[in-house]
């Protein structure tokens, strides 16, 4: 397992940069590498997670002794950008609920090495779930509006949010973000979010939330008909 040390006076890129990895030709199912940084005092662990395209739980699990909001100056922060690929077949999109990660395997051009793009996700909160199994991408929506399902409206009432809207128009306050990918599972979308710091947590009602910039990365790469497989495979 490799570990690379990066000394960072500041993290110049404040948002996620999705990485594309070559799939090892030796049969290995691990891509990427561990990194270690010494961050600027102004960076929280969540800032660092977003910069390196990691979810909340990934950065916390990798750094259990550090304060999430104020890691001490000079702290060594482990960046767990090494990932186990999901079980084959590697085609289209695979979501692993246990990893809270999406893996997209783009078509491989002749003579080229197969590659994978992996992105962190928010998953369903307690009491809600995302269907497991196989389906496909049905459609893509820019600037979606959101009619809040009755079940969620009822939940919000029970939580005391009596003014929770029945409809969110397109815009920055829409929980679906600016880009939404409709799956073949009823009412399940892969979409951006207006609360990016929750990526990697259990925050959704079944949909799969991406950092807004990751939604922008994935959106143009896929089209209706791309296969989608959702699994729950601990490692």
In the chain, the percentage of residues whose pLDDT exceeds 70 is: 93
- At 133, which CATH number? 2.40.440.10
Shared-domain flag, residues 145 and 227: yes
Helix (H) or strand (E) segment spanning residue 136: strand 133-142
Domain coverage including residue 7: 3-84
Taking only the tens place, the pLDDT of each residue in 152-199 is 999 999 999 888 999 999 998 999 999 999 999 999 999 999 999 999
Q: Which of 84, 103, 127 is the last residue of a domain?
A: 84
Q: How far, CA to CA in Å, does 224 sit from each of 135, 137, 139, 191?
A: 11, 5, 5, 15
| Mean pLDDT along residues 203-224 | 97
Angstrom distance (rounded) from CA 136 to CA 42? 42
Residue 110, helix vs strand vs coil: coil
Q: Which of 84, 109, 131 is the last residue of a domain?
A: 84
* Contact predicate 116/102, CB 8 Å: no
Shared-domain flag, residues 132 and 50: no
Shared-domain flag, residues 79 and 97: no
Catalytic residues: 191, 207
pLDDT, position 2: 43
């Amino acid at each position: 397992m490799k570990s690379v040390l990066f000394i960072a006076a500041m993290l110049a890129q404040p948002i996620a940069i999705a990485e594309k990895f070559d799939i090892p030709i030796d049969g290995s199912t691990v891509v990427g590498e561990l990194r270690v940084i010494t961050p600027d005092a102004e960076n929280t662990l969540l800032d660092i997670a977003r910069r390196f395209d990691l979810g909340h739980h990934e950065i916390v699990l990798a750094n259990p002794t550090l304060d999430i909001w104020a890691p001490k100056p000079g702290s060594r922060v482990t960046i767990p950008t090494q990932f186990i690929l999901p079980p084959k077949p590697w085609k289209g999109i695979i979501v692993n609920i246990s990893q809270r990660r999406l893996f997209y395997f783009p078509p491989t051009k002749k003579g080229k090495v197969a590659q994978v793009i992996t992105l962190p996700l928010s998953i369903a909160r307690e009491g809600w779930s995302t269907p497991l199994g196989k389906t496909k991408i049905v459609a893509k929506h820019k600037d979606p509006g959101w009619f809040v399902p009755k079940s969620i409206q009822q939940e919000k009432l029970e939580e005391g949010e009596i003014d929770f809207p029945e409809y969110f128009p397109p815009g920055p306050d829409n929980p679906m973000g600016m880009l939404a990918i409709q799956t073949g599972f009823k009412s399940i979308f892969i979409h951006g979010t207006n609360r990016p710091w929750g990526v990697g947590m259990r925050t959704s009602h079944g949909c799969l939330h991406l950092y807004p910039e990751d939604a922008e990365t994935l959106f143009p790469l896929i089209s209706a008909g791309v296969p989608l497989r959702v699994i729950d495979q601990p490692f």
